[in-house]
Amino acid sequence: MLKFMKLNRIEDEPSVKLFQGERWLIITGLFGFILSLGIAFFILFQGHIRLPEGNMKDAFSFNAAIGIFILSIAAILPLARFSDRKRNMIRWFFIVASIYGYVIETVQNYRGINPRFSRVGAEIDMIAGILFGILSLVLVVLAVILMIHFFRIKSPYERPLLILGVRYAFLSVFAANVAGIWMILLQDRLTGDAGNLIVLHGLGFHALQTLVLPACFLENTQVKDHIKKRLIHLGSIAWLLMILLIGIQSGFGRSVFELTTLPIIASVMLLIWLCSLISAFVFFIKPKSDNNLSLDQASVTQQSR
């Protein structure tokens, strides 16, 4: 009986696992978190302002964000089923671009220099900033390549719910990349009187967690497939509409935190996404709760005998 159960468990496990074979990407992502932790301690004792134009808070948030992004890429890259050569090339482009980003963002802010749009730096700082911009464009190109590849994967394929979530996530990432290019062209993150493109840029990239996580929850739940897909579609479309509204508001040069029509609708979309995430999590934990309850009842019955 035990052998049969063990065999069943092995057969149920997906052959393509998240993070499989991506040790170096995982290490690169974790390095960003470690660096952010070190910067947090530095800010605690030394403050965040580094004259004339450095800000260690920017280095903290950048390194943490890149760390999360790289770990997300490490999770989904095995699902793409690239050839070993192509996967290796994409992996090392991500690693090199990320490490350069960690170094330039941290060192330049520590020196009091804006790593992207410096107005006081020397020629070497300008060159470093230009290279930073080029590597940012490399990350954009890599993200577009991954997006196109995931949309071109033909059915049937393994882990369809995850693939669906990843496809929606890359649409959001595309919007984030548009915001990034927008900032490069403006040589600033601010638009108009109160617009800030960094909000669109950051939220867009976080779709690799916010839209993939519900799919992870729903994969192994005892719920009908059409309900799972509807939940993912509902939450993902709400998230993309929120991103679109934030982009329009920022394009108008207005804050996304003001109580006007577009931010309010965007907040409603965010709540719809949150409800879909909570629903997916409830479905995820419910079978486990039922199984535990059944085990408890069985043990009580045996004891009574």
**Domain ranges across the chain:** 17-153, 160-285
Residue 285's contacts (CB-CB under 8 Å, 6 or more residues apart) are none
pLDDT the model gives residue 288: 57
Reading the block at residue 114, the tokens are 């804006």
pLDDT the model gives residue 122: 85
Q: Which residues of the chain have pLDDT under 50?
A: 1-13, 291-301, 303
pLDDT the model gives residue 65: 92
pLDDT digits over 19-54, tens only?
Answer: 999 999 999 999 999 999 999 999 999 999 999 998
* Model pTM score: 0.85
